[in-house]
C-alpha cells in the first residue's frame, strides 16, 4: 500500500492489533501517506522503532462512571482517557461526551491531537478522553452528577504537568465547570491549570470560546490569500454543525465579509439565502439549547431540510465542515465540486472521508485538514494555561491577536513543509509532516527506544 517497506510493516501491525478501530486506522493511514515523502530520509527512525512507538498510545485508561438520574436510578457509562504522547509537553486534549464515543474514536482523536498540538508551537503533548454519556435531554443536576462521578476517577490521572483536559463535543462551559469543581473538592487545592475552557470567573481565558472557529477562519484566510490571491469578501459559505466551532466560525466568516447560507445539526440543516442571523442562532443554540430547525420556524425566508448530509448540496464558494468525523463522504464532495466550490477547510476533526479528500484535492480545491485549521482551540487553551501559571488575565484583543499570529504560523509551517515535500500547497501533507517532525525529534532525543543491551552500565 505504501512505497516504504517500513511504513507497510508498521501499518500492517496496527491493522492486525487494532482491527476493530476503523476511525483510528483511517487517521493513521492518512498520516502515513504523508510520511511516505520523508521516511526514506530518516533511516534512524526504523532503527529506533520510532513509528511503532508513535502509533501506540503511552497509556489508555478506561473506567466505569456510575451516576444517579433524577428518578433515583443508577446509570452506568464508560469513561476514557487516552494519554497518547508526551514527547513535547503534558498530554493535552479535550473530553467528548457523545453516545458514539468508543475506543476507536478516542484513539483517532488522541493521535490527531499529538500532531495538532505540535503545530501550535506550544509545549503540549496529545491526549483525548470522554464518555458515551449523552448530555442531551439531561437536567443540569444529572449532568453535574455525571461530571462529578467522571472526575472522581479521572482526577488521579491529570495535573498541570501531567495531563490537561478541555472541552469537545458535548463538553462546554457547563460541563467544564462541574468537572473542575469536583477536581478542586477532591484534591483540596485550586489548581486552575488542570483543565482549560474554564469560566471567566475562575481562571478561564477570554476568547477561548471563540478560538476554534475564529482560528479556522484566520488559517483559511491565509490559505485563500497566499494560494489563490483571494479572501472571504463576497463569498457564499456553508458551515456544517451549529455547536461551539460552527457558531464562531460563522461569526468570523461574517465579520470577514462572507455570507453563511447554511448550518446544520445531526438531524438536518437550515438554508438562509440572506445569511444566517447570528444573534438568532446564538439564542437558539446557547440559551435555549434547541434544534436548528427552530431557526427556520422563526426566521422568514429560511427553510429547514431533513438530513444533515444534504447540506453539501447547497451551492457555495467555501465549505467549513464543523460537526463531526466523516460527515462529508464522496457524494457530498462531488456535490460541492459540481457547484463550483473553491475551498474546503476543516473545522471538525477528520470530517472528510478519505474518498472525499481525494475528490476535493483531485478537483484542485483548496483543502486543509482539521489538525491544522482547527488548532486555534487548543492553542488558546495553551494560552489559558500560560495565564493561569502567571496568575494574570490578558484582554480579549491580546488573546485574539496571539491566536491570529499562531494560526498564521501554523499556515506557514504547513505550507513550507508542503514545499519541502515537493507538493507545494498540499496542506494535508504539510500539516502531517510538520507536526510529526517536531514530535519525532523530541522522541528521538529522549531516547525511550534504548533497550538494556544498548546501555553501558558502570
Ligand atoms: P458541539 O458539541 O458544540 O457541537 C457539535 C455539533 O455537531 C452540533 O451541531 C451537533 O449536532 C453536530 N454533530 C455532532 N455529532 C454529529 C454527527 N455524528 N453527525 C452530524 N452532526 C453531528 O461540538 P464542537 O463544536 O466543540 O465540536 C465540533 C467538532 O470540532 C468536533 O469534531 C470536535 O472534535 C472539533 N473540535 C472542537 C474544538 C473545540 O474547541 N470545541 C477544538 C478542535 C476541534 P447535534 O446537536 O444534533 O448533536
**Domains of the chain and CATH, by start:** 59-190 (3.40.50.10860), 210-368 (3.40.50.720)
- Cell match 469537545: residue? 168
pLDDT of residue 67: 98
What's the gap in Å between 292 CA and the centre of ligand 1? 13
Out of 128, 252, 285, 371, the active site residue is 128
How far is Cα 402 from Cα 399, in angstroms, rounded to an integer? 5
Neighbours of 286 (CB within 10 A): 13
Grid cell for residue 165 = 483536559
CA dihedral 254, 259, 261, 267 (to 10 degrees): -30
pLDDT of residue 164: 98
CA nearest 53: which of 94, 13, 112? 13
- CA-96 nearest atom, ligand 1: 34
How far is Cα 310 from Cα 263, in angstroms, rounded to an integer? 11
Predicted TM-score (pTM) above 0.75: yes
How far is Cα 17 from Cα 320, in angstroms, rounded to an integer? 34
DSSP, res 276: -
Low-confidence ranges of the chain (pLDDT < 50): 449, 451
DSSP assignments along 312-334, one per residue: GGS--SEEEE-S-TT-B-HHHHH
What's the gap in Å between 201 CA and the centre of ligand 1? 25
What is the best residue among 323, 346, 379, 381 to mutate for testing ligand 1's pocket, by most ligand atoms within 8 Å of CB? 323
pLDDT of residue 447: 84
Residues with a CB atom less than 6 Å from ligand 1: 167-170, 212, 241-246, 265-267, 308, 322-324, 327, 347-349, 374, 377
First to last CA, the chain: 46
Amino acid at each position: 500500500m505504501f512505497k516504504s517497506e517500513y511504513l507497510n510493516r508498521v501499518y500492517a501491525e496496527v491493522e492486525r492489533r487494532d482491527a476493530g478501530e476503523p476511525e483510528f486506522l483511517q487517521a493513521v493511514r492518512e498520516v502515513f501517506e504523508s510520511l511516505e515523502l520523508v521516511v526514506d530520509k530518516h533511516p534512524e527512525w526504523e532503527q529506533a522503532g520510532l513509528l511503532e512507538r508513535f502509533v501506540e498510545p503511552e497509556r489508555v485508561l478506561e473506567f466505569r462512571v456510575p451516576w444517579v438520574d433524577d428518578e433515583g436510578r443508577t446509570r452506568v457509562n464508560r469513561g476514557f482517557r487516552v494519554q497518547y504522547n508526551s514527547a513535547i509537553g503534558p498530554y493535552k486534549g479535550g473530553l467528548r461526551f457523545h453516545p458514539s464515543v468508543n475506543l476507536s474514536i478516542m484513539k483517532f482523536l488522541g493521535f490527531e491531537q499529538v500532531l495538532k498540538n505540535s503545530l501550535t508551537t506550544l509545549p503540549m503533548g496529545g491526549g483525548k478522553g470522554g464518555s458515551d454519556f449523552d448530555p442531551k435531554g439531561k437536567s443540569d443536576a444529572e449532568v453535574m452528577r455525571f461530571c462529578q462521578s467522571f472526575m472522581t476517577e479521572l482526577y488521579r490521572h491529570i495535573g498541570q504537568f501531567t495531563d490537561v483536559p478541555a472541552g469537545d463535543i458535548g463538553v462546554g462551559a457547563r460541563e467544564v465547570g462541574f468537572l473542575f469543581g469536583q477536581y478542586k473538592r477532591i484534591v483540596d487545592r485550586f489548581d486552575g491549570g488542570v483543565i482549560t475552557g474554564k469560566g471567566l470567573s475562575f481562571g478561564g481565558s477570554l476568547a477561548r470560546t471563540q478560538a476554534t472557529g475564529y482560528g479556522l477562519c484566520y488559517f483559511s484566510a491565509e490559505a485563500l490569500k497566499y494560494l489563490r490571491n483571494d479572501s472571504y469578501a463576497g463569498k457564499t459559505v456553508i458551515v456544517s454543525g451549529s455547536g461551539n466551532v460552527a457558531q464562531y466560525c460563522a461569526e468570523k466568516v461574517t465579520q470577514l465579509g462572507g455570507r453563511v447560507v447554511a448550518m446544520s445539526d445531526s438531524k438536518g440543516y437550515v438554508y438562509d439565502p440572506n445569511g444566517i442571523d447570528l444573534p438568532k442562532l446564538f439564542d437558539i443554540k446557547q440559551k435555549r439549547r434547541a434544534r436548528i430547525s427552530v431557526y427556520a420556524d422563526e426566521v422568514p425566508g429560511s427553510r429547514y431540510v431533513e438530513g444533515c448530509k444534504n447540506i453539501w448540496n447547497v451551492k457555495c464558494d467555501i465549505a467549513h465542515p464543523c460537526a463531526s468525523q466523516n460527515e462529508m463522504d464522496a457524494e457530498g464532495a462531488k456535490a460541492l465540486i459540481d457547484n463550483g466550490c473553491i475551498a474546503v477547510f476543516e473545522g471538525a476533526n477528520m470530517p472528510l472521508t478519505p474518498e472525499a479528500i481525494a475528490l476535493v484535492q483531485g478537483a484542485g480545491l483548496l483543502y486543509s485538514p482539521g489538525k491544522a485549521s482547527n488548532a486555534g482551540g487548543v492553542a488558546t487553551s495553551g494560552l489559558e494555561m500560560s495565564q493561569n501559571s502567571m496568575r494574570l488575565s490578558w484582554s480579549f484583543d491580546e488573546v485574539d491577536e496571539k491566536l491570529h499570529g499562531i494560526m498564521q504560523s501554523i499556515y506557514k509551517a504547513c505550507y513550507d513543509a508542503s514545499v519541502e515535500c515537493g507538493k507545494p500547497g498540499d496542506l494535508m501533507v504539510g500539516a502531517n509532516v510538520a507536526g510529526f517532525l517536531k514530535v519525532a525529534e523530541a522522541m528521538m532525543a529522549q531516547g525511550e527506544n534504548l533497550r538494556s543491551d544498548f546501555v553501558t552500565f558502570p
